[in-house]
């Protein structure tokens, strides 16, 4: 950790019409790590991602990407730097087939700059590159799935499509907003290796999750938010053991589930 962290968030604060959605949250993410973010519903997790990626203007605080101040930059400029995000409520282009969904990010300045998918060369036919990315992310290549309209895809594929949109930009970091939620156990089981592979490819990840068991398997550190405040941060097992986390999550099925497996 000689250099500045990949992402440094300082005292991020967001007020929505009197509601303090985020209260002076400070944290770092380092190159290649997976930071988990957990917290009850309404604790400000999505707002935090929105603030970092420029979709929502922070009330106060600062965000640094690789030591560079990106606070207040427009969302597309931040994405152009390689700071990408998925949406909790999936946002595909419903009227386009899955692979055509990727033509749009592949048309972006960043994708044009970073060149062809998987190393060098000029970006070829964007349709082909799109299908390659979809295969990478778990769409069966020789099936009809990549060619189906996004409006007819089930949740599992839409979540993958969210990740695929980020990958098309050759991201430095992906901020995932609940990519596991709404998926069945077996779908999650097939997503986990995918996440691990992204990490192996050198992509840094921030993962908001309610699925604590799967999250704790991949995350190197976990941060807990509650009522917009950072409750604590630490290795998964430390976080699990914390009394306050148990209280904050009291009654939540996931925690009980994790506790029984822990």
Ligand X SMILES: Nc1ncnc2c1ncn2[C@@H]1O[C@H](COP(=O)(O)OP(=O)(O)O)[C@@H](O)[C@H]1O
Complex with ligand X: residue 45 or 165, whichever CB lies closer: 45
Which residues within the stretch 30-69 sit at the binding site for ligand X (CB under 6 A)? 39, 41-47
Partner whose binding site includes residue 21, from another protein, ligand X, Mg ion, none (CB under 5 to 8 Å by kind): ligand X
Q: Hey, which residues does 230 pair with through a beta bridge?
A: 225
Site string for Mg ion, 18-57 (x = CB under 5 A): ----------------------------x-----------
- Which regions of the chain does DSSP assign to beta strands (E)? 7-16, 19-29, 34-38, 60-65, 68-69, 83-85, 173-177, 204-208, 221-226, 229-234
Residues engaged in binding another protein (CB under 8 A)? 53, 55, 74-77, 79-80, 84-85, 87, 91-97, 100, 103-111, 126, 147, 165, 168-169
Partner whose binding site includes residue 76, from another protein, Mg ion, ligand X, none (CB under 5 to 8 Å by kind): another protein
Partner whose binding site includes residue 87, from another protein, ligand X, Mg ion, none (CB under 5 to 8 Å by kind): another protein
How far apart CA 70 and CA 5 sit, in angstroms, is 14
Tell the smallest beta-carbon distance from residue 252 to another protein (Å).
Answer: 29
Complex with another protein: residue 8 or 85, whichever CB lies closer: 85
Of the ranges 9-17, 83-91, 162-170, 194-202, which one interacts with Mg ion (CB under 5 A)? 83-91
Tell the smallest beta-carbon distance from residue 78 to another protein (Å).
Answer: 8
Q: Please list the alpha-helical segments (H only) found in 12-136.
A: 45-52, 75-80, 98-101, 103-106, 109-114, 126-136
How far apart CA 136 and CA 120 sit, in angstroms, is 18
Distances (CA, A) of 144 to 98, 126, 233: 10, 18, 43
Query: Is residue 235 a contact partner of residue 222, using CB atoms and an 8 Å limit?
Result: yes
* Binding region for ligand X (CB under 6 A): 16, 19, 21, 39, 41-47
């Amino acid at each position: 950790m000689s250099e500045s962290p990949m992402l440094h968030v300082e005292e991020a604060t967001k007020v929505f019409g009197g509601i303090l959605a985020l209260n002076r949250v400070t944290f770092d993410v380092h190159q290649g790590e997976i930071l988990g973010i957990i917290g009850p519903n309404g604790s400000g997790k999505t707002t935090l991602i929105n603030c970092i990626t420029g979709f929502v203007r922070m009330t106060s605080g600062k965000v640094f990407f690789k030591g560079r101040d990106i606070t207040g930059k427009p969302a597309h400029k931040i994405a152009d730097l390689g700071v990408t995000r998925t949406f909790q409520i999936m946002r595909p282009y419903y009227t386009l087939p899955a692979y055509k969904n990727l033509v749009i990010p592949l048309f972006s300045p960043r994708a044009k700059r970073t060149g062809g998918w998987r190393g060098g060369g000029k970006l070829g036919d964007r349709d082909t590159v799109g299908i390659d990315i979809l295969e990478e992310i778990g769409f069966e290549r020789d099936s009809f799935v990549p060619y189906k309209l996004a409006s007819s895809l089930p949740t599992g594929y839409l979540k993958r499509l969210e990740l695929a949109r980020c990958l098309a930009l050759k991201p430095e970091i992906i901020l995932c907003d609940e990519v596991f939620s709404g998926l069945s156990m077996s779908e999650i089981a097939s997503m986990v290796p995918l996440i691990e592979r992204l990490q192996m490819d050198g992509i840094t990840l921030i993962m908001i999750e309610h699925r604590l068991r799967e999250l704790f398997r991949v995350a190197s550190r976990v941060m807990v938010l509650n009522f917009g405040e950072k409750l604590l941060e630490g290795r998964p097992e430390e976080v699990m053991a914390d009394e306050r986390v148990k209280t904050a999550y009291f009654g939540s099925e996931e925690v009980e589930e994790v506790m029984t497996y822990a």
